[in-house]
Amino acid sequence: MNSLEELISIGSDWPSRAITDWKQSGKKAVGFFCCYVPEEILYAADILPVRMRAPGCAETTLADTYMSHLNCSFMRSCLQYALDGKYDLLDGLVFCNSCDHARRLYDILREIAPARFPFLHLISVPHKADKDMAGWYAGDLAAFKAKARDFFGADISDKRLRTAIESYNETRTLLRRLYDLRKRKTPPLTGAETLSVFLAGCSMPKDEYNVMLRKLLTELESRAGISDYRARLMVAGSGGCDDPNYFEVIEDMGGLIVTDSLCFGSRYFWEPVAVREDLMLALAESYLKRPSCPRMVDNVVARSDYVKQMARDSHVDGVIFQRIRYCDLWGGQMLHLEKHLRESEIPILSVDREYSLSAMGQLRTRVQAFLERLEGD
């Protein structure tokens, strides 16, 4: 098995082999929602941070007794998995006030399943990225660090935290190199493969992941590039876009996904953490400076610019702007993004979707029409 196959295999399972191996060694693993949770803090405590997903969740019957059909199906699927016991191997969950759906999932689990998740925490993240906000965020991160330290009896010294940040920064560098390869005229891997590689990193120790990524990058140098595509595409939009099969549906039609603006993608790793003496402030400032989610109110133009820049850098023919239905945050951004891309003559296909792959026929039809339009252009 080469590195690509191995990473894809790790990324495709829930729970991943990496999580079960880690747990079998007697260590703790904590799930987290949203990329405004600085997982370096957990990693420094020798706790495996696991990005929360609910892959393959086909129905949400139990979850729907609590949440409503008006709630995002990603969060409902996560609640379903929590109630099904599929997260039982985790020692806790960490949230932030990323969106209304996520913060309420935290509330529901606190109320109905406190014994299942004895460590539940929500980090209060500001909605603006100025200096005062970084101070607030840093304060909340310090509280989170203290709680994790006390609860798990962990050592989260500055030295360990610096080492963790270094490991994470290396991941960020390596993933950027992976994305650089996709800018080629004949990229060495598909969008679905890239997402699988990315997902592997969401549930394995970053030091091991980095070794595999380095190996992968070497292997990809000699891999034949993909040239039989009809158009180069970018996927942008809301969270919960974590299923490589979704990308496969698009790529089976002849589109090749060469970049993204996703929290299960480039926005997670694009900017490194700039280390400074006060590490909580360093994390807070760096996380606030990353390409943002529309939960941040002061970055409307920058967010659309980021999509445009990524599209240009990767020579994209069109952008698929997907949103999980009921995601207000990305729904609002649509007003600005569509206009911004059209003014830049970048075609955009706007799609609402559910977390599960339940309406793929409709997606195929729309992607087919989009590709024909791009070919016509």
User: Residues in the site for another protein, rule: CB under 8 A?
Assistant: 65-68, 70-72, 75, 97, 99-101, 103-105, 107-108, 111-112, 122, 124-128, 132-133, 136, 139-140, 294-295, 297-298, 300-301, 323, 325-326, 328-336, 338-339, 352
Q: In terms of C-beta density within 10 A (0-12 exposed, 13-18 middle, 19 or more buried), how is residue 130 classed?
A: exposed
d(CA 331, CA 101): 14
Element (DSSP H or E) covering residue 16: none
In the complex, minimum distance from the CB of residue 294 to another protein, in angstroms, rounded to a whole number: 6
Amino acid at 21: D
Comparing CB distances to another protein, the nearer of 122 and 199 is 122
d(CA 13, CA 5): 13
In the complex, minimum distance from the CB of residue 182 to another protein, in angstroms, rounded to a whole number: 29
In the complex, minimum distance from the CB of residue 214 to another protein, in angstroms, rounded to a whole number: 39
Comparing CB distances to another protein, the nearer of 75 and 307 is 75
Comparing CB distances to another protein, the nearer of 65 and 362 is 65
Comparing CB distances to another protein, the nearer of 290 and 295 is 295
Comparing CB distances to another protein, the nearer of 104 and 160 is 104
Comparing CB distances to another protein, the nearer of 245 and 344 is 344
Our CA angle for 148, 170, 188, nearest 5°, is: 125
Amino acid at 341: L
In the complex, minimum distance from the CB of residue 334 to another protein, in angstroms, rounded to a whole number: 5
Q: Which of 81, 149, 154, 93 has the alpha carbon at shortest distance from 120? A: 93
Comparing CB distances to another protein, the nearer of 17 and 336 is 336
Q: Measured between alpha carbons, how far apart are the two ends of the chain, in Å?
A: 41
In the complex, minimum distance from the CB of residue 132 to another protein, in angstroms, rounded to a whole number: 6
In the complex, minimum distance from the CB of residue 44 to another protein, in angstroms, rounded to a whole number: 24
Comparing CB distances to another protein, the nearer of 149 and 325 is 325
Comparing CB distances to another protein, the nearer of 194 and 333 is 333
3-state secondary structure 75-138: HHHHHHHHHHCCCCCCCCEEEECCCHHHHHHHHHHHHHCCCCCCCEEEECCCCCCCHHHHHHHH
In the complex, minimum distance from the CB of residue 339 to another protein, in angstroms, rounded to a whole number: 7
In our burial notation (b when 16+ CB lie closer than 10 A, e otherwise), range 171-182 reads bbebbeebbebb
In the complex, minimum distance from the CB of residue 306 to another protein, in angstroms, rounded to a whole number: 14
Q: Which of 118, 116, 94, 90 has the alpha carbon at shortest distance from 106? A: 94
- The dihedral through the CA atoms of 215, 246, 71, 117 has a sign that is negative
d(CA 278, CA 35): 21
348-353 vs 255-261, strand pairing mode: unpaired
In the complex, minimum distance from the CB of residue 292 to another protein, in angstroms, rounded to a whole number: 11
